[in-house]
Amino acid sequence: MGIRCEEEIRKSIDIIAVLKSEQSKGVHVQSLSPKVSLEGLKPGEYSSVEGFVRVPDNWLEGIARLYLGVKDKRRATYLKPEGQGFEEDENGLIYIGTINIFSIEN
């Protein structure tokens, strides 16, 4: 994911990946590390986040929805995204897509 800084970042923030199970109330939250610290970016500069989302061993098989978000570390809340062309959930997470999780034995 590419990130462009629009204005000076004055908060400590994290980029978060969230899996939400459609079969249960399972939710898995994982921090992703940007290549360049987001707090150090100046307006107009870019960074990127690459990584793997690890599915917990006890996760139920089935459909899960994947979201990304920007979290204010101090307040422990997600920052509401601005813009168009994306689906947002009630917390401000951006919907990325649906994945099918299955056991390697099946």
Tens digits of per-residue pLDDT, 19-42?
999 888 899 999 988 777 777 888
Q: Which two tokens stand for residue 60?
A: 């139920």
Residue 82 resides in a domain = yes
User: How far lies 37's CA from each of 9, 41, 63, in Å?
Assistant: 11, 7, 33
Residue 84, SS3? coil
Q: How many domains does the structure of the chain reveal?
A: 1
Residue 86 resides in a domain = yes
* Residue span of the structural domain in which 53 resides: 2-101
pTM: 0.80
- Residue 64 has what pLDDT? 94
Residue 43 resides in a domain = yes
Residue 106 resides in a domain = no
